[in-house]
């Protein structure tokens, strides 16, 4: 290939990977590979500046901006860090610093958290804005979402705090939360996130802060920007940030030499797997602010700091066989069963293969010797195959065409990667999984019943459909013959089942396990249609008109209710007395102080949720309107209200009131 073509191809490829990483939060290349390609392009651009693209990724620090948020310029640009991968690179960095500022300096070593960076601005001790890195000079205003993170203070108490400052840190998700939430996504038939970083990034960019608040994010803060110098060193500023109430990581070290830095790096190489969150390296910063200033910046990164990236830990082992798991929604997931091997402190026996494409990509053959990686990710992954060790005549792994459990032909829907078993009424793991989902805590929350019991009941022929739970009381003789199932527990279980008939419609709807209908969607559907008959007869257009229901969800609902077996189940459940309509709460007015008055609530509020304010207004006779018009009496304005709303309200002379004003009206 011509040099020019090669450079063009690299620019195109890297830009696409950047877009996937920063904007879609779905990476398509390992960091290390990306850096190598970027380096290659950088080298070619230096050798052939005449072919360099003015939009080359070598000139950019981050990704793009996401469309749906307000774009805000950074007062201090959000730069990136140079990466190093070995001791020599670090010694070179150390030499460069010594040449520039002499031998009298210290380093601060910090963990490099694997999340997404955030810039928080505080004015007069109040959090006024939170912005993503974006392209480094401007990012997305995600304040409302960030305010849902518990350990980011909205207001600081300390008096000695500078009147205006910016603090930077990393938003991330703990492994345990990632595991739990990702499992839930998989159960709903949604595509799981590849790692906690992507989950955190995807969450911060969500449009609905209420959804964000349900996903536990965390944040470590690691740098301070102010107009004046309040501190002499970075270390001092970190100590103060802690005192001001910010979450600063405790695993931070002040070092006098590169040798000390290297031992910090060495220690965390192993110890990082014991942390509850993921790190992908170590950040090394020159401590003194004066020295940082002397060293300055290159176009994209500071000369006074660098990161050391850990290589993913890798080991070679034998692929014994590939097995296939059928989930509640019928998705068939391949799993690699490996010859047990030690990796990063644990014994690895299995690795995820995600889907059929992954088997193809790896061109897996039975008995292959494979490289397994446990990098950032929790579940080990097969990176590639050692072809030198492939035995002659090895059989290619072929993704099955029939369901491994019920032998029905598998199908793949357009635009999806997973294969499904369509036999949802008779495929054993799907039946058991669906009933287990129905009784689960977030759905019908049936006391006295557990996953194992459902499995046993199914095997004994006691249940084959959700509705069979409600005839169990007629089978107490059979129940009594079951091992470990005494009279007491039978009684408890039957009581739990009976009580579940009182669960609200939205829980029943969620419990049915319709693809893509999670808790929130179920609630929106219940509120939007009020009863099951309207829902089952709703057209696609009617469904997508409901808040948060998109084409994909609507299609799935129509498909579900188009199946006679599903309708039969619903009729049985109805007959047993389950709730299939929304029971409107009777509002008893606390007062009529707001009768005849209309309100719009906008922005975020320190002590009240929007829902609470809405309730307060309605309980006193007021009415909530959906948009600003000349008829509107009051706009209850919180922080970070959209500029267009504000403009409209001003134009139409709608009075803006605070929460305190509202409380005053109620007095
Ligand atoms: S300091 C001038 N400290 O790594 C750059 N960054 O590759 C100042 N990161 O964008 C960044 N942990 O998102 C710093 N302890 C830490 C960090 C950290 C993670 C991220 C951050 C930054 C990226 C640079």
- Summarize pLDDT for 628-642 with one digit per residue, the tens: 888 899 999 887 777
Domain count, the chain: 6
> For residue 546, what are the CA distances in angstroms to 132, 209, 521, 582, 640?
30, 18, 10, 16, 26
Q: Is residue 228 part of a domain?
A: yes
Does the C-beta of 291 come closer than 6 Å to ligand 1? no
Q: What is the pLDDT of residue 67?
A: 43
Q: The CATH number of the domain where 378 resides is what?
A: 2.40.50.140
Choose one of 257, 282, 309: the last residue of a domain.
309
303 and 329 in a common domain? no
The low-confidence residues of the chain, meaning pLDDT below 70, are 19-27, 31, 55, 59-68, 158-159, 187, 189-190, 375-378, 415, 585-587
283 and 172 in a common domain? yes
Q: What is the pLDDT of residue 155?
A: 86
515 and 498 in a common domain? no
List beta partners, residue 140: 71
Does the C-beta of 81 come closer than 6 Å to ligand 1? yes
Instruction: Please give the Cα distance from 441 to 491 (Å, whole number).
Output: 19
Give the residue, out of 112, 115, 201, with the most ligand 1 atoms within 8 A of its beta carbon, to mutate for a pocket test.
112
Q: Is residue 400 part of a domain?
A: no
Structure confidence by residue, pLDDT tens digits, 413-455: 776 778 999 998 899 999 999 999 999 988 999 988 999 999 9
170 and 156 in a common domain? yes
List beta partners, residue 365: 396
260 and 204 in a common domain? yes
298 and 229 in a common domain? yes
Q: Is residue 410 part of a domain?
A: no
517 and 438 in a common domain? no
Smallest CA separation from ligand 1 atom 2, residue: 79
Does the C-beta of 292 come closer than 6 Å to ligand 1? no
Q: What is the pLDDT of residue 61?
A: 45
Q: Is residue 119 part of a domain?
A: yes
Q: Is residue 439 part of a domain?
A: yes
Binding site listing for NAD(+): 31-35, 80-81, 110, 133, 170, 285, 309
304 and 164 in a common domain? yes
Annotate 277-340 with three-state secondary structure: CCEEEEEEEECEHHHHHHHCECCCCECCEEEEECCCEEEEEEEEEEEEEECCCCEEEEEEEEEE
Q: The CATH number of the domain where 53 resides is what?
A: 1.10.287.610
628 and 512 in a common domain? no
Q: Is residue 583 part of a domain?
A: no
Is residue 161 within 8 A of residue 122, CB to CB? The reply is: yes
Instruction: Please give the Cα distance from 587 to 618 (Å, whole number).
Output: 8
Does the C-beta of 197 come closer than 6 Å to ligand 1? no
| CA-117 nearest atom, ligand 1 | 13
Q: What is the pLDDT of residue 62?
A: 46
Q: The CATH number of the domain where 614 resides is what?
A: 3.40.50.10190
Does the C-beta of 505 come closer than 6 Å to ligand 1? no
Note if 112 is an active site residue: yes
509 and 498 in a common domain? no
Q: The CATH number of the domain where 141 resides is what?
A: 3.30.470.30
Give the ranges where 102-174 is alpha helix by DSSP (H): 143-146
Q: Is residue 420 part of a domain?
A: no
Q: What is the pLDDT of residue 379?
A: 74
287 and 317 in a common domain? no
| CA-301 nearest atom, ligand 1 | 2
Binding site listing for Zn(2+): 403, 406, 421, 427
Instruction: Please give the Cα distance from 223 to 220 (Å, whole number).
Output: 10
Q: What is the pLDDT of residue 65?
A: 43
Choose one of 522, 540, 575: the last residue of a domain.
575
For residue 27, give its domain range.
Answer: 3-59
| CA-116 nearest atom, ligand 1 | 13
Q: Which of the residues 112, 147, 374, 507 is marked catalytic?
A: 112
- Phi and psi, residue 454, nearest 5°: -60, -40
Q: Is residue 106 part of a domain?
A: yes
Query: What element of type H or E holds 214?
Result: helix 209-214
Q: Which of 20, 121, 114 is nearest to 72 (CA)?
A: 121
257 and 108 in a common domain? yes
Which residues make Cβ contacts (< 8 Å) with residue 353, sequence separation at least 6? 322, 333, 334, 335, 336, 359, 362, 364, 382
Smallest CA separation from ligand 1 atom 17, residue: 112
Instruction: Please give the Cα distance from 472 to 462 (Å, whole number).
Output: 7
């Amino acid at each position: 290939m011509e040099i020019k073509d090669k450079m063009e191809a690299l620019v195109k490829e890297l830009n696409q990977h950047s877009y996937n990483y920063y904007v879609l939060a779905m990476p398509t290349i390992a960091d290390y590979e990306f850096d190598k390609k970027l380096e290659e392009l950088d080298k070619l651009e230096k050798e052939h500046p005449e072919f360099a693209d003015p939009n080359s990724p070598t000139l950019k620090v981050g990704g793009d901006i996401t469309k749906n948020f307000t774009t805000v310029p950074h007062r201090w640009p959000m730069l990136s860090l140079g990466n190093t991968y070995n001791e020599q690179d670090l010694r070179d960095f150390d030499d460069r610093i010594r040449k520039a500022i002499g031998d009298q300096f210290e380093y601060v070593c910090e963990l490099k958290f694997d999340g997404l960076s955030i810039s928080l601005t505080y004015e007069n001790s109040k959090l006024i804005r939170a912005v993503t890195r974006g392209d480094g000079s401007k990012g997305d205003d995600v304040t409302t979402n960030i305010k849902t993170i518990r350990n980011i203070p909205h207001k600081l108490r300390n008096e000695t705090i500078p009147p205006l400052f910016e603090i930077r840190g990393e938003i991330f998700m703990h492994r345990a939360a990632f595991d739990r939430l990702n499992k839930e996504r998989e159960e709903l038939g949604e595509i799981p996130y590849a790692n906690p970083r992507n989950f955190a990034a995807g969450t911060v960019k969500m449009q609905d802060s209420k959804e964000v608040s349900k996903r536990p994010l965390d944040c470590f803060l690691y740098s301070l920007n102010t107009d004046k110098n309040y501190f002499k060193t970075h270390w001092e500023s970190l100590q103060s940030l802690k005192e001001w109430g910010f979450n600063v990581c405790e695993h931070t070290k002040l070092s006098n030499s590169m040798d000390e830095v290297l031992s910090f790096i060495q220690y965390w190489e192993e110890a990082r797997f014991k942390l509850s969150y993921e790190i992908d390296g170590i950040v090394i910063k020159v401590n003194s602010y004066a020295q940082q200033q002397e060293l300055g910046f290159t176009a994209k990164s500071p000369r006074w700091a660098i990161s050391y990236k850990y290589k993913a830990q890798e080991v070679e082992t034998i692929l014994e066989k590939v097995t296939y798991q059928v989930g509640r929604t019928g998705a068939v997931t391949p799993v690699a069963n490996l010859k047990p091997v030690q990796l990063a402190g644990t014994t690895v026996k299995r690795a995820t293969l995600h889907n059929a494409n992954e088997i193809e990509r790896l061109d897996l053959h039975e008995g292959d010797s494979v490289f397994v990686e446990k990098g950032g990710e929790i579940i080990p992954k097969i990176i590639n195959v050692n072809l030198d060790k492939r035995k002659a005549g090895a059989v290619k792994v072929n993704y099955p065409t029939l369901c491994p459990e019920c032998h029905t032909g598998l199908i793949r829907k357009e635009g999806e990667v997973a294969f499904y078993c369509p036999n949802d009424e008779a495929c054993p793991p799907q039946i058991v999984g669906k009933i287990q989902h129905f009784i689960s805590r977030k759905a019908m929350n049936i006391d006295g019943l557990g996953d194992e019991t459902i499995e046993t009941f199914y095997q004994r022929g006691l249940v084959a459909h959700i509705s069979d739970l409600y005839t169990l009381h007629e089978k107490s003789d059979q129940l009594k013959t079951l091992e470990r199932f005494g009279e007491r527990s039978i009684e408890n279980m039957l009581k739990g089942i009976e009580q579940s008939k009182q669960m609200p419609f939205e829980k029943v709807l969620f419990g049915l396990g319709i693809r893509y209908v999670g808790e929130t969607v179920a609630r929106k559907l219940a509120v939007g249609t009020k009863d099951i008959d309207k829902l089952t007869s709703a057209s696609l257009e009617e469904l997508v008109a409901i808040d948060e229901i998109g084409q994909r969800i609507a299609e799935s609902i129509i498909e579900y209710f188009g199946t006679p077996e599903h309708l039969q189940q619903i009729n049985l459940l109805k007959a047993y007395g389950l709730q299939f309509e929304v029971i409107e709460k009777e509002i008893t007015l606390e007062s009529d102080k707001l009768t005849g008055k209309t309100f719009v609530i906008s922005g975020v509020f320190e002590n009240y949720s929007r829902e609470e304010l809405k309730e307060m207004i309605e309980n006193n006779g007021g009415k909530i309107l959906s948009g600003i018009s000349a008829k509107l009496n009051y706009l209850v304005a919180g922080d970070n209200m959209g500029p267009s709303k504000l403009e409209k309200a001003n134009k139409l002379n709608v009075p803006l009131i605070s929460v305190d004003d509202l409380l005053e009206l109620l007095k």
